[in-house]
């Protein structure tokens, strides 16, 4: 079939380009999932403890929404509840980035045009990207199964858990191949993928939250939204529990249909263009654009808006169930779970402290994303053009930092505001709820600033590795925030994340000392970054 | 316009002065004792094959890359320490224009002009017209040539002392190249200094007062065009009444092929007068000559990469 001519060569090329990146992803994901399993086995070491925990997971709406219920009460089943959805989200992310990198990015940068002029078929590029995704996901299935088997988990469930990870990955590889046909820029295609992923997560979360707990008080039959989300399908394989294989058919069908749609779309467009037409814009710049601060604002405002809307939805959901917290966490175990997460005292306060703490770390994802732009623009050209004008390096970095922190404050405020409004509405104490929750979320600006300072320091001192190191630091904070207390990680490790050094607001009260220390640390790190950047040559791409 | 710039170079007649500039990237030596002097008010051609170090030199001059050793002076200031002050007085067109894909061309022009210290609206309008560029399209939809035009319009709309242009016509069609040359001529008449990096010899021959030629990070020639022409050879084809067998004995004659009354050879341009006198004594029936081109000089330096390192020739250090 001539439309596929050259697929082999392109696949080898893609493998060569990703020879380091993909193995790291695959090994990292398998190791993450296995380490969650390991901690769970250590933590719940008797049948009674496991059953109790499984019941808490089914009983607790927030856990159900966040991680999903357990498909049974074995160690493996608890591992699935704790880590499957979370790992699936990361697997989906790997597939989104992979497919965009090997399809739309090649087109945007003009590589596809050059390659397409050789004897390469029309669909070879997409096919090569999907083959690579297939290889990565297959490797993930094998590795994660082996890792789980190595920990002494039952064979059937281990295979099924691996299959869940890999096939969810394939479904997202397929969905992304559609997105890559729609937009002209790789950045937008990745953003579109992220949006779909977030929507699928929310659907799955809603499905589990509104599901019916079965008579065993452990398993939950999800409501319909779970059934339109690939993340829901993967979860419904129920490894170490009922062990169903048929949802795999849904995932593979999703992949197949998506690819067919993508192929149809690609036949109807030209190389380099998207299905969504590029719009014209202003012939003159507004005066607000003409300063570095205005420029950076313009570059980041789309991203910021997306974050504000997304986080406001989450906040409204968590705030809206705030008045039911006492009922939702009625058992002593589940109440203890909340207090572990969010500090002692009033259960409602502990609940909000825990939830807002977790979400604030997620918000730092915006901060990192915004600051990484410094590095990508340096690599791709715009920074060279700016620094060849009368803009100093300090000015340029500060403009990015101000917008990143201002944006973070806005996202945190949106989180506090939406949670506070929703909770205020259901609890009839609007002013109290708003004040408390705004203080809670805005206080998170201090630890986020430390992470931002770290990002700047890495940018100044280690430009080539800046993106990787900064995202890794964010991932560490996220894992510690999500699992730190739960998994009894050593204190020394937990202390690494700046987010663990804030009092559990609103359960505890705000103290100035940690805020001051964190602000000073953030400023010092940022100063190191600026000094490093002023001293070094631009690290240009190519 | 600017008074507080320290002027270690001292000489206000010199816009760019580079001595023994060295820049390495890891194991690779990009610039190796490079020298370059551009006088104020001249169009200085900066020639070299791809990868010779032209862009690296320019980025050092712009304070974007840090030099390892050597001296570089730009408009009397230090390119690294005085970057911001100096950049108010210059405009730069990169070889590969990659700006923000979601800004329009018009916005990018205004932005770059403004960050540099302002641009002339009249000039901007004229240039958009001349280059026939639609400013309301997003950068990501422009072709390479059109992206190049955006940077050119932004640079030429700014009233500055020095224009640094790094292979500015790559991607432009011949019509637009002519417009570009017109713009450079205008700037020269206005007394501006222009550093024009290029590997298009015809363009350099047309525009430049003086040129520096570099290879593998070293300067191999520099001087005015006529001085450099002097170093080149003229191809001659001649038919004489007396067979020109004794041409061999003249100095400055190379690659001589004699066939009866006809001879073909290359002559050192510096020796042309002498050779002409000799030919006249043989009785010239016909004579064709091809003028020396920079191309020839270029090929002599770069054509045979396996040849030993060329002896450095510097002329015109008046």
Q: What residues of B are in contact with residue A292 (Cβ under 8 Å)? A: 115
Most confident of A113-127, B12-26, B239-253: B12-26
Q: What residues of B are in contact with residue A288 (Cβ under 8 Å)? A: none
Q: What is the average pLDDT value for chain A, to the nearest integer?
A: 89
**Of A351-365, B61-75, B228-242, where does mean pLDDT reach its minimum?**
B228-242
Is the confidence at residue B306, as pLDDT, over 70?
Answer: no
The answer to whether A248 and A163 have CB atoms below 8 angstroms apart is yes
Q: Average of pLDDT values for A362-387?
A: 93
* Dihedral, A515, A520, A523, A524 alpha carbons, nearest 10: -140
| Residue A395 covered by a domain | no
Q: Please tell me chain B's helix, strand, coil percentages from 3-state DSSP, rounded to the nearest 5.
A: 35, 30, 35
Residue bearing the bigger pLDDT, A189 or A383: A383
Out of A292, A381, A389, closest to residue B99 by CB = A381
pLDDT of residue B314: 42
Q: What residues of B are in contact with residue A279 (Cβ under 8 Å)? A: 138
Is the confidence at residue A411, as pLDDT, over 60?
Answer: yes
How remote is the C-alpha of A359 from its chain's centroid?
Answer: 11
Q: What residues of A are in contact with residue B98 (Cβ under 8 Å)? A: 380-382
In chain B, which residue's Cα lies nearest the Cα of A384?
Answer: B64
B99 at A interface, C-beta within 8 A: yes
The number of domains in chain A is 1
Beta bridge partners of B93: B165
Nearest chain B Cα distance for residue A385, angstroms: 7
Helix axis angle, A155-182 to A124-150, nearest 10°:
160
B106–A285 CB contact, under 8 Å: yes
Is the confidence at residue A381, as pLDDT, over 90?
Answer: no
Is the confidence at residue B3, as pLDDT, over 50?
Answer: no
Interface residue ranges in chain A relative to chain B, Cβ cutoff 8 Å: 108, 184-185, 187, 278-285, 289-292, 295, 298-299, 302, 380-382, 384-392, 535-538
| Residue A229 covered by a domain | yes
How many interface pairs between A and B have CB atoms less than 8 angstroms apart?
109
Out of A108, A280, A291, closest to residue B136 by CB = A280
Is the confidence at residue B234, as pLDDT, over 90?
Answer: no
Cα end-to-end distance, chain B, whole Å: 30
| Residue A511 covered by a domain | no
B65 at A interface, C-beta within 8 A: yes
| Residue A313 covered by a domain | no
Q: What residues of A are in contact with residue B99 (Cβ under 8 Å)? A: 381-382, 385
**Is B232-304 in CATH node 1.10.287?**
no
pLDDT (tens digit, 9 = 90+) per residue, A32-82? 899 888 888 887 888 998 998 898 888 877 778 888 999 999 999 999 998
Q: Average of pLDDT values for A506-533?
A: 91
Complex ipTM > 0.90 = no
B280 at A interface, C-beta within 8 A: no
Residue B83 half-sphere exposure, CB side, CA atoms within 13 Å? 25
Nearest CA to A255 out of A175, A329, A346 is that of: A175
pTM of this structure = 0.77
Nearest chain A Cα distance for residue B84, angstroms: 5
| Residue A381 covered by a domain | no
Q: What residues of A are in contact with residue B59 (Cβ under 8 Å)? A: 384, 538
pLDDT (tens digit, 9 = 90+) per residue, B163-213? 999 999 888 898 999 999 999 999 999 999 999 998 777 788 889 999 998
Q: What are the extents of the domains in chain B?
A: 14-222, 232-304
- With vertex at residue A431, the alpha carbon angle to CA A428 and CA A434, rounded to the nearest 5 degrees, is 100
pLDDT (tens digit, 9 = 90+) per residue, B35-71? 999 999 999 999 888 888 999 999 999 999 999 999 9
User: What percent of chain B is modeled with pLDDT above 70?
Assistant: 88
CATH class for domain B14-222?
alpha beta
d(CA A95, CA A171): 9
pLDDT (tens digit, 9 = 90+) per residue, A246-286? 999 999 999 999 999 999 998 887 776 766 666 788 889 88
pLDDT of residue B317: 34
B166 at A interface, C-beta within 8 A: no
| Residue A510 covered by a domain | no
Structural domain for A205, as ranges: 1-275
**CATH topology identical between B14-222 and B232-304:** no
B83 at A interface, C-beta within 8 A: yes
Beta bridge partners of B238: B263, B287
């Amino acid at each position: 079939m001539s439309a596929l001519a050259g697929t082999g060569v392109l696949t080898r090329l893609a493998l060569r380009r990703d020879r380091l990146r993909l193995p790291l992803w695959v090994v990292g994901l398998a190791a993450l999932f296995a380490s969650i399993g390991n901690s769970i086995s250590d933590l719940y070491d008797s049948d009674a403890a496991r059953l109790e925990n499984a019941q808490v997971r089914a009983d607790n709406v927030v856990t159900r929404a966040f991680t999903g219920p357990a498909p049974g009460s074995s160690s493996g089943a608890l591992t699935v509840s704790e880590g499957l959805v979370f790992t699936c989200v990361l697997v989906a992310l790997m597939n989104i980035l992979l497919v965009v990198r090997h399809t739309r990015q090649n087109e945007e940068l003009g590589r596809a045009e050059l390659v397409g002029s050789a004897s390469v078929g029309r669909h070879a590029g997409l096919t090569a990207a999907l083959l690579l995704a297939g290889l990565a996901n297959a490797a993930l299935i094998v590795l994660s199964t082996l890792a789980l088997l190595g920990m002494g988990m039952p064979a059937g469930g281990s295979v099924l858990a691996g299959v869940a990870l890999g096939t969810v990955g394939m479904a997202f590889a397929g969905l992304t191949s559609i997105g890559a046909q729609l937009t002209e820029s790789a950045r937008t295609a990745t953003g579109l993928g992220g949006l779909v992923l977030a929507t699928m997560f929310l659907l799955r979360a809603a499905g589990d939250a509104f599901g019916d707990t079965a008579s065993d008080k452990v398993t939950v039959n999800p409501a319909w939204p779970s059934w339109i989300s690939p993340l829901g399908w993967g979860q419904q394989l129920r490894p170490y529990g009922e062990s169903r294989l048929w949802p795999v058919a849904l995932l593979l069908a999703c992949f197949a249909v998506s690819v067919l749609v993508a192929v149809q779309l690609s036949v109807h467009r030209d190389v380099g263009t998207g299905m969504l037409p590029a719009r014209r814009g202003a012939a003159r710049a507004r005066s607000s654009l003409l300063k570095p601060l205005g420029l950076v604002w313009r570059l980041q405002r789309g991203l910021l808006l997306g974050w504000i809307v997304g986080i406001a939805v989450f906040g409204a959901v968590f705030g809206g169930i705030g008045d039911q917290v006492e009922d939702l966490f009625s058992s002593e175990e589940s109440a203890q779970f909340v207090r572990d997460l969010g500090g002692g005292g009033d259960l409602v306060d502990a609940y909000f402290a825990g939830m807002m703490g977790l979400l604030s770390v997620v918000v730092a994802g915006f901060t990192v994303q915004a600051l990484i732009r410094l590095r990508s623009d340096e690599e791709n050209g715009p920074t060279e053009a700016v620094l060849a004008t009368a803009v100093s390096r300090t000015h340029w970095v500060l403009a990015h930092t101000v917008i990143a922190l201002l944006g973070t404050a806005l996202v945190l405020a949106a989180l506090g505001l939406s949670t506070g409004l929703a909770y205020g509405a259901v609890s009839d104490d609007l002013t109290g709820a708003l004040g408390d929750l705004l203080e809670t979320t805005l206080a998170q600006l201090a630890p986020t600033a430390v992470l931002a300072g770290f990002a700047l320091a890495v940018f100044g001192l280690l430009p080539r590795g800046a993106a990787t190191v900064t995202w890794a630091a964010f991932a560490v904070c996220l894992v510690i925030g999500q699992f730190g207390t739960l998994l009894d990680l050593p204190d020394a490790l937990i202390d690494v994340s700046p987010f663990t050094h804030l009092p559990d607001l609103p359960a505890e009260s705000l103290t100035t000392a940690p805020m001051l220390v964190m602000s000073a640390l953030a400023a010092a790190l940022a100063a190191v970054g600026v000094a490093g950047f002023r001293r070094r040559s631009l690290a240009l791409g190519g | 316009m600017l008074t507080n710039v320290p002027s270690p170079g001292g000489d206000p007649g010199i816009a760019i002065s580079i001595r023994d500039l060295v820049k390495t990237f890891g194991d690779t030596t990009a610039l190796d004792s490079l020298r370059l002097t551009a006088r104020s008010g001249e169009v200085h051609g900066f020639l070299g094959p791809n990868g010779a170090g032209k862009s690296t030199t320019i980025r050092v001059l712009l304070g974007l890359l840090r030099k390892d050793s050597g001296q570089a002076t730009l408009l009397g200031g230090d390119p690294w320490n005085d970057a911001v002050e100096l950049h108010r007085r210059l405009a730069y067109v990169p070889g590969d224009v990659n700006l923000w894909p979601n800004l329009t061309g018009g916005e990018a022009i205004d932005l770059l002009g403004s960050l540099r210290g302002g641009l002339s609206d009249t000039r901007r309008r004229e240039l958009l017209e001349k280059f026939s560029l639609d400013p309301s399209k997003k950068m990501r939809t422009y072709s390479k040539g059109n992206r190049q035009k955006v940077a050119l319009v932004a640079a030429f709309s700014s009233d500055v002392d020095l224009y640094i242009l790094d292979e500015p016509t790559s991607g432009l069609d011949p019509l637009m190249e002519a417009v570009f040359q017109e713009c450079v001529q205008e700037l020269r008449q206005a007394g501006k200094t222009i550093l024009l990096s290029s590997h298009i010899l015809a363009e350099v021959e047309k525009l430049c007062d003086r040129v520096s030629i570099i290879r593998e990070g070293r300067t191999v020639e520099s001087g005015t065009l006529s001085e450099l022409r002097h170093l080149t050879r003229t191809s001659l084809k001649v038919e004489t009444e007396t067979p020109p067998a004794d041409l061999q004995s003249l100095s400055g004659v190379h690659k001589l092929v004699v066939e009866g009354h006809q001879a073909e050879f290359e002559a050192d341009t510096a020796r042309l007068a002498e050779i002409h006198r000799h030919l006249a004594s043989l009785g010239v029936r016909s004579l064709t000559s091809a003028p020396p081109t920079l191309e020839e000089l270029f090929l002599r330096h770069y054509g045979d990469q396996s040849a030993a390192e060329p002896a450095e020739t510097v002329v015109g250090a008046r």
